[in-house]
Structure 1
Amino acid sequence: MSTAVASATPAATTTSVARPTLSRLRDGALLIGPLVVLALSLGYPLALAVSRSFTDRDDNYVGTRTWANAVSEASVQKAFVRTLEVSALSTVGCVVVGTFVAFVLAFIPFSGSSVVVRIIEAVVSLPSFLIPLALGVLFGPVGVVSSSTGHRFTFMSSVFGVVLATVAFYTPFVVRPLLAAFSQFPTAQIDVASSLGARPLRIASRVILPAVWPALAAAASLTFLLTLNEFGIVLFTGAKDVVTLPMLIYTTSIISSDFATAAVLATIQLMLSLSAYLLYRAVVRRFDTTGA
């Protein structure tokens, strides 16, 4: 009997050792699979675009000559500044409008507020180009409002029109996080501040906003990241003088067929996006209270 027990023990030990090994192999396969898909679908095109930026229009390697020519062009410099300008103004507009809307929905109850929230959430599911098309029907060069007022309101073809359309589309990205933060805010603090004689504006600025600042900062960073890469709104607004980097990449590659310069611009846009993403992650990590 002791012989049988002794012979069974090594088998049990072998089985217990094999199970963690199989588990590690399975976990490795589950990790490698997505990494391979990402490398082929995302990493390879990005690497190809970056490598193409060191060639000329005939696909000959020229080092940094294409970079020097592209960066020195006034149109590229203007597009770079315009991209940051539109993104910054749009982010500020989204924060201001989104904070106001979230305040009203959270602290000023009214009939139909839940319907308004659903409409705001539904805007995110719409294609971004529908917003400038709708605003163009009203305020475009041949829009309803501009036609009825002698073409006095044609701001849709300007920077203001692009920012307006961008704010209209991306404001829900600020409203929704703030509503979630407001729902966790203890209303007893508002009652205490009100009983001490604080007015609504002071309560909002001194009591409520400091408590939801992490959510607001994260929402603003995410909005800046998204608006930095916006293409459809700028294109369908029809603002010819508003040329951002995504627009310049499109015209350089599709219309001018200068893929080398377009690759330089795409690489610059990529670096901008990565910088904005790192900023977003830094903000989230800075204000993360969950320890994640």
Structure 2
Amino acid sequence: MPWALALPPVAVLGLFFLYPLGLVVRESLGGDGGTTTAAYGQVFAQDAFRDALGNTVLIAVGATAGALVLGFVLALVIAFVPFPGGRAVGRFVDVFLSFPSFLITLALLFVYGRAGMANGLWTDVTGDASGPFDFLHTRWGVLLAEVTYFTPFVMRPLLAAFSQLETAQLEVAASLGAKAPRIVRRVILPEALPALAAGGSLVLVMCLNEFGIVLFTGAKDVTTLPVLIYSRAILDGDWTAACVVAVVNIALSGGLYALYRTVLTRGGLRRARA
């Protein structure tokens, strides 16, 4: 019977995902002491929560926008501008996706940290006691690290979409006198929009839940929702508040994913009708 075949994977999903998630929700509602939303009111009233929510949304939106722009430009160059080693660079994008986020942040610290290469070069040339680069411990440093790390997640679907683009369309547009910017705007960009939507939505959700980059930059004044969850649970031992923030974070991620699926479905319907 069909339901019997579906029972094992559903049971595994419920045991290892839905059950722990249910425990988090139950703890946020008072745990075994009864169902109450008092903890939500207390957490929502805290300045720390509002600051963390604002930082999370601003950094996620900014990093997604930066990754979309940078990823689109780099994917264009790799796909349509012949240069030695272009294929190797395209393969490196796949390898880059397997790197942990803290590794990229650590590399940026070696370059732009207070004792990094950029400041060392500055002090060697000018003789100053310290260099001018001290932004990695701020919101801008977190933003740079996230754009650097998540750009390949935008490039991968774009490169796949560009590989299926008919070069004849580009040749016809060029033969009719269209310049490169017009070809990109009128021919390439419309074909790339689904890939941009897929990559951008993935990056946005991942940025909302990013923890390692904020931790490794040492940005003490930048608290995001994942960092606040860690702080409440591990440092303060307030598991109820931590679960409340976790539920908010899950709701944000789930809502964005649902919105992405809705937009993608409507876009597919429009294309099918066309």
| TM-score normalized with structure 2 length | 0.91
Q: CA deviation at 1:167?
A: 1.3
- 2:119 aligned residue (146, 150, 173): 146
Q: CA deviation at 1:104?
A: 0.5
Give per-residue Cα distances to partners, 1:109-134, cap 9 Å, x unaligned.
Answer: 11101110111111111111101011
1:277 paired to 2:247: no
The separation in 2 between residues aligned to 1:135 and 1:243, in whole angstroms, is 20
The separation in 2 between residues aligned to 1:86 and 1:118, in whole angstroms, is 28
After TM superposition, the structure 1 = structure 2 runs for residues 169-208 of structure 1, keeping only pairs within 5 Å, are: 169-208=149-188
Which segments of 5 or more consecutive residues in structure 1 lack a partner in the other structure? 1-23
The separation in 1 between residues aligned to 2:89 and 2:263, in whole angstroms, is 29
Give per-residue Cα distances to partners, 1:172-211, cap 9 Å, x unaligned.
Answer: 1111111111111122222222222221111111221012
RMSD, aligned CA: 1.7
The separation in 2 between residues aligned to 1:283 and 1:208, in whole angstroms, is 20
The separation in 1 between residues aligned to 2:259 and 2:148, in whole angstroms, is 23
The separation in 1 between residues aligned to 2:248 and 2:254, in whole angstroms, is 10
Bigger Rg over Cα: 1
What SS does the corresponding residue of 1:152 show, helix, strand or coil? coil
Q: CA deviation at 1:62?
A: 6.7
- 2:23 aligned residue (48, 63, 82): 48
Give per-residue Cα distances to partners, 1:68-118, cap 9 Å, x unaligned.
Answer: 110011110110011011110110011011100110011101110111011
| TM-score normalized with structure 1 length | 0.86
The separation in 2 between residues aligned to 1:178 and 1:144, in whole angstroms, is 33
Counterpart for residue 244 of structure 1: 224
The separation in 1 between residues aligned to 2:42 and 2:175, in whole angstroms, is 65
Q: CA deviation at 1:155?
A: 1.1
Number of matched residues? 264
- 1:209 aligned residue (182, 189, 208): 189
Of the structure 1 ranges 278-287 and 82-91, higher mean CA displacement relative to structure 2 is found in 278-287
The separation in 2 between residues aligned to 1:30 and 1:283, in whole angstroms, is 32
Of the structure 1 ranges 169-178 and 257-266, higher mean CA displacement relative to structure 2 is found in 169-178
The separation in 1 between residues aligned to 2:191 and 2:80, in whole angstroms, is 15
Which segments of 5 or more consecutive residues in structure 2 lack a partner in the other structure? 123-129
1:76 paired to 2:49: yes
